[in-house]
Amino acid sequence: MLNKRLNHELQGTTLGRPSTRGDRDPRADAIFTLKEVTTLLIDEVLSLNRQYLDSLGGQSRLFIESGNKPCPLNYWNFHLDKHLHALNKVNEAEVRSRLLPVETVSMTSKGIRLNDDMYYECDRPEFEDWKTIARSGARWSMEARIDQDNSSFIYVRLQKMEGFTRCTLMLQSSSLEGLHRADVLFFEDWKKLEKIRAKPDTKSVEQHQRRKAIVKHAQGEAKNAPPLSSKVERTRGMKERRREVIEEARLSSSSAKVERKNEETNYVEQWSEERNKKVVSLLKRKKDND
């Protein structure tokens, strides 16, 4: 009876059905909250596990020896206590990874890359070697599971034929730590939108014009230079010329510093002289008053 009632009440919220124009909206018949629905479903599962099943009575003699009724819960507990099962122990990362959505990541020189701003790392000893291999251009893709509620970690299958390993967010991506998947996607869309909206300002235009002028001047100087017969003649004395230019730049900067220092010294001397004159005039005025 409870199953029929629960099925009827949930028909407008979870099961769904084809709707006809003019019919009553099935969502108006829903009366349970999500928490109440979860509680009812759990109770139904527990009730089923305690239900008497004739088929289980003939599968194991443990029910007769213990004197308990044949139900799925007793069947599970008997075989678990007597170690008559084929269960395998699985780590937490493997269990959680089976419940999370699938994603594809890649191994790069910076770490395990999820997108342009999120890089992850793990405590495997060969992780640094993988980064070195990826630095030479040999990137490869890996299967991953992501938690949409928390971006601080993901589960990655680092090698084929092995389980998932928990990887944590690297320090360089700490600004996105703990965010929901929707917030991360919003941040990516915001960056793309700002890049589209970006317009050249006055400084960027001035830099572009200055760069064009420098290139044009260099091309004109190269065209007006006398032709050289060989490459050796072109590169001869390049180190000496470079050293001369550096020395000239250094001397010009040092001379500018000396001039600035002289100006500061002259200002200090002038200020000291004016101060002495004021003190002398005050002393004379005081003497005259006396």
Does 33 share its domain with 98? no
**CA pair distance 81, 30, nearest whole angstrom:** 43
Does 165 share its domain with 136? yes
The per-residue pLDDT for range 131-178, each reduced to its tens digit, is 988 888 778 899 999 988 899 999 999 988 888 889 999 998 888 888
Q: H or E stretch including 113?
A: strand 112-113
**Neighbour-count burial for 168-195, b at 16+ CB within 10 Å, e otherwise:** ebeeebeebeebeeeebeeeeeeeeeee
Q: H or E stretch including 191?
A: helix 181-197
**CA pair distance 96, 263, nearest whole angstrom:** 73
In-domain check, residue 18 = yes
Residue 12 has pLDDT above 50, yes or no: no
Least confident interval from 14-18, 35-39, 211-215: 14-18
Does 121 share its domain with 179? yes
Among the candidates 195, 214, 231, a domain finishes at 195
In-domain check, residue 149 = yes
Does 121 share its domain with 72? no
Does 61 share its domain with 107? no
Q: H or E stretch including 105?
A: strand 102-107
Report phi then psi at 105, rounded to 5: -120, 170
Does 134 share its domain with 53? no
Average pLDDT (54-80) is 77
**Structural contact between residues 30 and 10, judged by C-beta atoms closer than 8 angstroms:** yes
Does 48 share its domain with 105? no
What is the residue type of 273? E
Nearest to 149 by CA among 101, 81, 197: 101
Among the candidates 133, 164, 195, a domain finishes at 195
Average pLDDT (213-220) is 84
In-domain check, residue 276 = no
**CA pair distance 56, 77, nearest whole angstrom:** 13
**CA pair distance 287, 77, nearest whole angstrom:** 115
CB atoms within 10 A of CB 4: 8
Does 167 share its domain with 137? yes
Does 113 share its domain with 145? yes
Among the candidates 54, 81, 108, a domain finishes at 81
Q: What is the mean pLDDT of the chain?
A: 79
Nearest to 75 by CA among 41, 64, 45: 64
Q: Provide the pLDDT for residue 42.
A: 93
**Neighbour-count burial for 231-247, b at 16+ CB within 10 Å, e otherwise:** eeeeeeeeeeeeeeeee
**Confidence band for 106, pLDDT divided at 50, 70 and 90:** very high
Tally of domains within the chain: 2
What is the residue type of 250? R
CB atoms within 10 A of CB 74: 19
**CA pair distance 171, 157, nearest whole angstrom:** 22
In-domain check, residue 102 = yes
Structural domain span for residue 117: 92-195
In-domain check, residue 263 = no
Does 156 share its domain with 176? yes
Q: Provide the pLDDT for residue 229.
A: 67
In-domain check, residue 274 = no
Query: What separation in angstroms does the CA of 154 have from each of 18, 39, 52, 121, 173?
Result: 39, 30, 43, 10, 14
> 226 — alpha (psi -120 to 50), left (phi > 0) or beta?
beta
In-domain check, residue 237 = no
Q: Provide the pLDDT for residue 58.
A: 72
The per-residue pLDDT for range 26-66, each reduced to its tens digit, is 777 778 888 999 999 999 998 888 888 777 777 777 777 77
Average pLDDT (4-18) is 51
In-domain check, residue 188 = yes
Does 76 share its domain with 124? no
**Confidence band for 8, pLDDT divided at 50, 70 and 90:** very low
**Structural contact between residues 38 and 51, judged by C-beta atoms closer than 8 angstroms:** no
Does 72 share its domain with 13? yes
**CA pair distance 17, 145, nearest whole angstrom:** 32
Write down the pTM of the prediction.
Answer: 0.50
**CA pair distance 250, 245, nearest whole angstrom:** 9
**CA pair distance 156, 106, nearest whole angstrom:** 10
